[in-house]
């Protein structure tokens, strides 16, 4: 509300109640697909659970929720359209390269954890299905439309893939959850496919 100068947190255009409903319905879904594997129950080892859940998840979630400040502090501009990516300023390039290095590290840890959990094949198959579905829709649309991957969608799609109790995965999951809620509540659940269909 403070960052976006809004009377309510979900005042993102004319469809604030659709956005509110989308975020509220996605919460339980994301719990089932992601955070139920990583959060610790408070009933056992309460101090450890409080530290893990509140410090390990709550604080990074809050940081992700204020994602916009990263751009303001660094002077970076974030966009995943091909035309914008070719015209990034120096600060944006540094942030993108740093982000890619962090992403590579997180991917390596997640693959190792998936192998240890005995789910590497299904894990990779799920990721391939996500990319394949996305590519198939893009090919089916052809020249009639183009894709704009909003940061809320990117965070939402990656959340289930960092479902391990490794600290790096857990913090990454919290940040992604915060970025998703920030994007959905600030900009609305906008479609990622643009054009005339």
Tokens of 136: 């198939």
Q: How far, in Å, CA of 30 to CA of 36, rounded?
A: 9
Q: Check residue 147 and report its DSSP letter.
A: E
| Look-up of token digits 């979630």 | 61
Which residue numbers in the chain have pLDDT < 70? Answer: 1-19, 70-71, 74-86, 145, 193-197
What's the pLDDT score for residue 80?
53
Neighbours of 112 (CB within 10 A): 13
Q: How far, in Å, CA of 25 to CA of 180, rounded?
A: 13
C-beta separation of 31 from 156 below 8 A: no
Q: How far, in Å, CA of 77 to CA of 28, rounded?
A: 31
pLDDT in tens, 41-53: 887 788 888 888 8
pLDDT in tens, 3-33: 556 666 555 555 556 667 777 788 788 888 8
C-beta separation of 174 from 57 below 8 A: yes
CA triple 132-102-105, angle to 5 deg: 75
What's the pLDDT score for residue 83?
62
C-beta separation of 106 from 169 below 8 A: yes
What's the pLDDT score for residue 115?
95
Neighbours of 88 (CB within 10 A): 16
CA triple 23-48-172, angle to 5 deg: 40
Buried (b) or exposed (e) across 93-108, using 16+ Cβ within 10 A?
eebeeeeeeeeeebee
Please list the alpha-helical segments (H only) found in the chain.
Answer: 16-33, 46-50, 59-65, 68-74, 82-85, 90-116, 120-141, 151-158, 167-187
Cα 98 from chain centroid?
17
């Amino acid at each position: 509300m403070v960052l976006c100068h809004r009377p309510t947190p979900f005042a993102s255009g004319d469809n604030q109640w659709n956005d509110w409903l989308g975020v509220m319905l996605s919460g339980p879904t994301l719990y089932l697909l992601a955070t139920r594997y990583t959060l610790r129950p408070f009933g056992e080892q309460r101090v450890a659970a409080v530290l893990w859940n509140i410090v390990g998840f709550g604080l990074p979630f809050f940081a992700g929720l204020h994602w916009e400040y990263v751009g303001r502090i660094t002077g970076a501009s974030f966009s995943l359209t091909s035309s914008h990516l070719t015209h990034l300023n120096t600060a944006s390039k540094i942030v993108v390269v740093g982000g890619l290095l962090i992403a590579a590290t997180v991917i390596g840890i997640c693959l190792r954890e998936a192998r240890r959990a005995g789910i590497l094949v299904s894990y990779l198959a799920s990721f391939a299905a996500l990319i394949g579905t996305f590519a198939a829709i893009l090919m089916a649309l052809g020249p009639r439309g183009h894709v704009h991957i909003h940061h809320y969608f990117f965070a939402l799609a990656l959340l289930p893939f960092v479902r391990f109790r490794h600290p790096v995965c857990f913090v990454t999951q919290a940040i992604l959850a915060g970025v998703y809620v920030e994007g959905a509540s600030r900009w609305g659940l906008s479609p990622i496919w643009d054009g005339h269909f």
